[in-house]
Amino acid sequence: MSGPDLLFYLFAALSVGGGLLMVLSRHPVSAALFMIVSLVGVASLFVLLDAFFLAILQVLVYAGAVMVLFLFIIMLLDVGPEGAKASRMKFVSGVAGLISVGLLLVLLLDLGLGSMESSDCSADDCDSCGESAAFAWPEIRDETAANGSSLVFSPSVKAFGFGLLAKYMLPLQVAGFLLLAAMVGVIILSKKSKGEESGLNQ
């Protein structure tokens, strides 16, 4: 087990553990902080996968902007911890949720690993059955190239830029409009308007 493997397990534990704690912690603020932890873990996994640009984005957008927004709202509404009221219902739903999510995971893993088995046994050399270390990560060249209609993986930001502006031009524009719509929506939802007086007095 070499260093990167250790790192993988470390960061995986970090992200999953952070997520779990976020889900289970009673106070929203702590939940948000745990969330940040798990996000950072994910970011570092991106680094492991040579997606440096995405890692940066992850930290900036998620851990930075989004979570700060969350924290800001939490402070604004100063939500306390979930009260113990309706605890039985909470307990029942929690147990049911655990069970069903467990089932979901089992199914997903079964599907994923099932495909892996079929892959190994479909391979010709049956000696490699079982141990999946036979997978060789393709080596990456630091250059932006396109192979047919697909873009070749490269850690460089340049490749991203080309990809976005050349191949994914239209989605990029659409995403811009998406953000515009979101912005307009947020404004319309939260700004005070003369129309509101009619609604408030009820």
Partner 1 sequence: MNAITPHHFLVLAFLLFGVGFLGVVIRRNVLLVLMSLELMLNGINVALVAFSRAGANLDGSIFVFFIMTVAAAEVAVGLALLVALYKRRKSIFTEDMGLLGN
Partner 2 sequence: MEAFVTFYSSNDWTAIGPEIALALAAMTILVMDLFGKDKFSGRTGLFAIAFQAVLLVAHLISYVSENSSNSYFSGMIEQSLQSDVMRSFFLLSSLLVSILAHRYLCKNRLASGEFHHLTMLATAGLMLLCQSSHFLMLFVALETVAICFYVLVAYNRNESKSLEAGIKYLLFGALSSSLLLLGIVLLYGVGANPEAWGASYPGYESMDPLAFQYLGNLMDENPDNLLLRAGVVLIIAGIAFKVGAAPFQIWVPDVYHGSPMPITAFLAVSSKAAGFFVLLNLVNGPFEGMAEFLLPLLGFVATFTIFFGNLAACAQRNLKRMLGLSGVAHAGYLLVAVMASMTDAFNGNDNDAVWVLFFYMFVYLFASFCVFGVMGLADLQDETEHEFSHYENLAQKHPWMGFVLVCGIASLAGIPPFAGFIAKLLLMTVAFEAKLYLSLTAMVIGVVISIYYYFGWIREVVFNPRPSFSDDEPVHDPWTKLSDIRLLKLVLIVFAVVSIVFGLWQGQIGNAF
Partner 3 sequence: METVAFSVLLLPLLSACVTLLFLRKQGNVAALLSVATAGGILAFSLFLIFAGEGETFAWEATWIRMSDWELRFGFLVDGSARLLLFVVSFVGFLIHVFSLGYMADDEAKARYFGGLSIFMFSMLGITLADNLIMIFVFWELVGFSSYLLIAHYYSTDEAAQASKKAFIVNRIGDFGFLIGIVLTYWAFDTVNLVEIENQLNNLFAWNQENPQSQILTPVTTALCLALACGFIGKSAQFPLHVWLPDAMAGPTPVSALIHAATMVAAGIFLLVRIEFLFTDHALSLIALLGAGMGLYAGFCALVQRDIKKILAYSTLSQLGYMAAAFGLGMPGLAMFHLMTHAFFKALMFLGSGSVIHACHHEQDIFNYGGLRKKMPITAYTFLVGVLAISGVCFLSGYFSKDAILLSAYNLNVPVFVLLYAGAILTSFYMFRLYFIAFEGESRSKYAKQAHENSSLMTAPLVVLAVLSVIGGYHAIFPDAIVGSVVPDLTEVAEMDNHLWMIVLGTFAWIVGLIGAKNLYGKVGNSDPLADKAPAFFALCRSKLFFDDVYDFYVRRIQDPFARFIEVMEMLFVSGLMVRGSAGVTGLFALLGKACYVGKIHAYAFWFIFGTLGFLAYAAGLFGK
CA dist., res. 185 & res. 202, Å (int): 24
Contact 144, 156 (CB under 8 A): yes
Match 């976005």 to its residue by tokens.
164
CA dist., res. 117 & res. 75, Å (int): 49
In angstroms, give the least distance from the CB of 104 to partner 3.
6
Q: In the window 47-106, what residues touch partner 3 (CB under 8 A)?
A: 93, 96-97, 100-101, 103-104
Q: Does 112 bind partner 2 (CB under 8 A)?
A: yes
Binding mask 145-164 for partner 2 (x = CB under 8 A): xxxxxx-----------x--
Contact 55, 43 (CB under 8 A): yes
Q: Does 114 bind partner 3 (CB under 8 A)?
A: yes
HEC states along 28-42?
Answer: HHHHHHHHHHHHHHH
The 10 Å Cβ neighbour count of residue 77 is 9
- Which residue, 97 or 161, is less far from partner 3 as judged by CB? 97
CA dist., res. 22 & res. 29, Å (int): 9
Q: Does 163 bind partner 1 (CB under 8 A)?
A: yes
CA dist., res. 56 & res. 42, Å (int): 11
In angstroms, give the least distance from the CB of 121 to partner 1.
15
Select from 69, 105, 129, 175 the one that contacts partner 2 (CB under 8 A): 175
Q: Tell me 115's DSSP state.
A: H
Q: Does 107 bind partner 3 (CB under 8 A)?
A: yes
Match 């979930």 to its residue by tokens.
82
Q: Which stretch, 9-17, 47-55, 82-90, 193-201, contacts partner 2 (CB under 8 A)? A: 193-201
Residues that bind partner 2 (CB under 8 A): 108, 111-112, 114-120, 122, 135, 144-150, 162, 166-171, 174-175, 177-178, 180-182, 184-185, 187-189, 193-196, 198-200, 202
Residues that bind partner 3 (CB under 8 A): 93, 96-97, 100-101, 103-104, 107-108, 110-111, 114
